[in-house]
């Protein structure tokens, strides 16, 4: 019976790791969505609509996406919310970033969601430290 309980515990740990891996894939796709959207936006207007638009260079789009996404992911990982809430807030922040980074070139306004994320993290910091 002891072997069965050990096997059951190993199966629980394995299924938890699989869920974490699938969530990591979702997070990575969400963080790369501004870059993918900028490629799609440029492709749509240049090939399908045959309109010449001014877009940012792909390396600048990648750099901006990483400068926005990595701090947001780090802060979001520490926040004390459920995964679904984090995904919802990340989707809102990424939509904001995509709109102001790709569609309307207001790059200074695109990084604005980092401020509320930092404030939320600072408010939750005592609880985070107490939990460890």
Tokens standing for 80? Answer: 């004390």
Q: Are 72 and 117 a contacting pair, CB within 8 Å?
A: yes
Instruction: Report the candidate in 40, 93, 103 with the shortest Cα–Cα distance to residue 70.
Output: 93
Confidence of residue 113 (pLDDT cuts 50, 70, 90): very high
Confidence of residue 10 (pLDDT cuts 50, 70, 90): confident
Confidence of residue 128 (pLDDT cuts 50, 70, 90): confident
Share of the chain above pLDDT 90, in %: 17
pLDDT higher than threshold 90 for residue 111 = yes
Characterise 50 by phi-psi region: left (phi > 0), alpha (psi -120 to 50), beta (else): left
Please tell me the predicted confidence (pLDDT) of residue 132.
Answer: 60
Please tell me the predicted confidence (pLDDT) of residue 43.
Answer: 86
More confident residue, 54 or 36: 36
DSSP 8-state assignment for residue 13:
H
d(CA 102, CA 66): 14
SS (H, E, C) 80-123: CCCHHHHHHHHHHHHHHHHHHHHHCCCHHHHCCCHHHHHHHHHH
Which three-class secondary structure state does DSSP give residue 49?
A: coil
């Amino acid at each position: 019976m002891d072997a069965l309980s050990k096997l059951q515990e190993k199966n629980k740990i394995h299924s938890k790791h699989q869920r974490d891996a699938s969530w990591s894939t979702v997070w990575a796709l969400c963080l790369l969505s501004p870059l993918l959207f900028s490629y799609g936006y440029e492709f749509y207007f240049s090939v399908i609509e045959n309109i010449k638009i001014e877009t940012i260079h792909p390396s600048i789009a990648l750099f901006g996406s990483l400068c926005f996404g990595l701090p947001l992911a780090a802060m979001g990982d520490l926040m004390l919310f459920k995964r679904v809430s984090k995904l919802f807030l990340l989707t809102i922040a990424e939509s904001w970033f995509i709109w102001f980074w790709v569609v309307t070139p207001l790059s200074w306004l695109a990084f604005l969601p980092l401020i509320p994320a930092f404030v939320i993290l600072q408010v939750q910091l005592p609880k985070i430290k107490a939990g460890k």
